[in-house]
Amino acid sequence: METYKKEFIEFLLDCNALKFGDFTLKSGRKSPFFVNLGSFVTGTQLHKLAVFYAQAIHDRFGTDFDVLFGPAYKGIPLAVATTIAMQELYGIDVRYCSNRKEIKDHGDTGILLGSKLNDGDRVVMIEDVTTSGKSMEETVPIVRSQADVTIVGLMVSLNRNERGKGMKTALKEVSELYGFPTAAIVSMPEVVEYLTETGRLDAEMKAKIDAYYEEYGAKEA
C-alpha cells in the first residue's frame, strides 16, 4: 500500500473521523463503520485534509481544470480549503463553487456560492464519502444546468466499496451514469487491510465488517 494512504488512514483515526460501532447511514443502511469529515475542525486539520485531497486530485486528474465544486454542506469547506492547497502545492489558482440547499432570491441571488460557472469551465467535483450516489443525483444536474461545463471527475476521501443501486460501487455507478471518472484517496478494504496488519482491528469488529460486505459489498468484474 502506498505511504500516503497509510498516512491518510492514520490521519482519519487521529482526528476521530473514522469510527467503528453502529451507525445508520443516509442511505438507511446499518453500518459498523462511519467516516465523518466534519470531525476536521481546526485550521491544522483542515489544511492537512486539503493537502491530501489536492495530491489525490493532482495524481488522478492533473491540474487542467478551472473550478472545484463542493456539494452543500460538507463539500463547501472541502472545496474552499482544497483550492488553497492546490495553489500552495502546484501554483494553480482554481476557483471554488458550491450549491445552496435553497435558491437565494435577494442580494447574491441564485443556487450557487462562490464562483459562478461559465461555459467552457472544467470542473472537478469534491465531496467526503459517496455511499449511494444520492448527493451526485442532486448536484450534477445543478452544475450542468448553470453553464456548458465539462466535469473532469469526482474525488472523495473514502470509497466504501459497497454497492449503490445495483451491484457496482456507487462511485462506479456515478461514473457510468454521468460520464466522468471517479476516484478516492483510499478505499475501505485498504483501511481494513492496514488496520488488521497493524493489529488495531479486533476479531469481533472485523467479523461485523465482513458481514456488512456480505450484504452490501459491491461486485464488479
pLDDT at residue 102, rounded to an integer: 67
Q: Enumerate the active-site residues.
A: 104, 106
Residue 43 CB burial class (10 angstroms; 0-12, 13-18, ≥19)? exposed
pLDDT at residue 28, rounded to an integer: 86
pLDDT at residue 134, rounded to an integer: 75
- Is there a contact between 174 and 182 (Cβ–Cβ < 8 Å)? yes
Domain ranges of the chain: 3-209
Closest CA relative to residue 85, chosen from 60, 68, 104: 68
| H/E run at residue 209 | helix 203-216
- Is there a contact between 80 and 74 (Cβ–Cβ < 8 Å)? no
pLDDT at residue 131, rounded to an integer: 64
Instruction: Count other C-beta atoms under 10 Å from residue 26's C-beta.
Output: 10
DSSP lists the bridge partners of residue 19 as 34
Closest CA relative to residue 35, chosen from 200, 180, 191: 191
The values of phi and psi at residue 32, to 5°, are -85, 0
Integer-rounded Cα Rg, in Å, for the chain is 17
pLDDT at residue 123, rounded to an integer: 98
> What is the rounded (10 degree) CA torsion for 55, 57, 59, 61?
-160
pLDDT at residue 103, rounded to an integer: 64
Peptide bond into 73 cis (omega under 30): yes
Q: Kindly state the cell numbers that stand for 116.
A: 459562478
pLDDT at residue 132, rounded to an integer: 65
Per-residue pLDDT of the chain in tens (221 residues, 90 and over written 9): 888 899 999 999 999 999 999 999 877 889 999 998 889 999 999 999 999 999 999 999 999 999 999 998 889 999 999 999 999 999 999 999 999 866 655 545 578 889 999 999 999 999 988 766 778 888 999 999 999 999 999 999 999 998 888 889 989 999 999 999 999 999 999 999 999 999 999 999 999 999 999 999 998 64
When the candidates are 3.40.50.300, 3.40.50.2020, 3.40.1160.10, 3.30.365.10, the CATH number that belongs to 3-209 is 3.40.50.2020
